[in-house]
């Protein structure tokens, strides 16, 4: 899994975005705007990221089929559903959302998407991410960290990839087999703060 590059699955990302209708992951009053390329309010101070930003992040993540993926800041469940489409039924996706009401709503949206290998749960406000034995193959973060979140880097499996906005700069972190990391930057974006 370590050898994949961001361009390896660009066509798969485009297909996933076409296949998973954003409208099913938006409040009713926002559904008419589902095909607009802009962030949309989800309620409780949360927003759903604009589709072009989500697609760019997913390309950077280069998710292989069968991967174990953590989706931090899962919101309405749309990114979790997209990740589920990319990993397929042999993979596993866990979406975490800090706002309990958004998490419950997102879990319902995800359940309706028909991807039982993915789930969305409330995040533990005392723990960033969710450590798992062997680590995660991929970690996606849809909120801006003040600095590179070491806790999430530590949750990566060897060869794993983390995509996270730090400040306004998108970072791609690859965890080497020796435990070190390679970090690259990929453009400027605006996200809500990571809490």
Q: Which residues are catalytic?
A: 49
d(CA 27, CA 40): 9
Closest CA to 58 of 88, 37, 82, 23: 82
Closest CA to 172 of 139, 145, 194, 125: 139
Closest CA to 30 of 44, 47, 16: 47
């Amino acid at each position: 899994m370590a050898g994949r590059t961001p361009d390896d699955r660009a066509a798969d990302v485009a297909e996933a975005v076409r296949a998973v209708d954003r409208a099913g992951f938006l409040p009713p009053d926002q559904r008419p705007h589902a095909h607009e390329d802009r962030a949309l309010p989800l309620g409780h101070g949360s927003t759903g990221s604009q589709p072009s930003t989500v697609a760019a992040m997913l390309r950077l993540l280069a998710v292989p089929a069968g991967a174990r993926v953590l989706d931090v800041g899962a919101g309405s469940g749309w990114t979790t559903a997209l990740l589920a489409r990319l990993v397929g039924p042999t993979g596993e996706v866990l979406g975490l959302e800090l706002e309990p009401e958004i998490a419950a709503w997102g879990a319902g949206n995800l359940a309706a998407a028909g991807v039982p290998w993915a789930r969305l749960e409330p995040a533990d406000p005392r723990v960033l991410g969710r450590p798992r034995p062997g680590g995660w193959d991929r970690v996606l973060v849809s909120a801006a960290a003040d600095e590179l979140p070491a806790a999430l880097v530590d949750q990566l499996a060897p060869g794993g990839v983390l995509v996270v906005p730090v400040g306004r700069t998108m970072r791609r972190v690859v965890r080497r087999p020796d435990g070190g990391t390679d970090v690259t930057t990929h453009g400027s974006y605006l996200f809500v703060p990571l809490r």
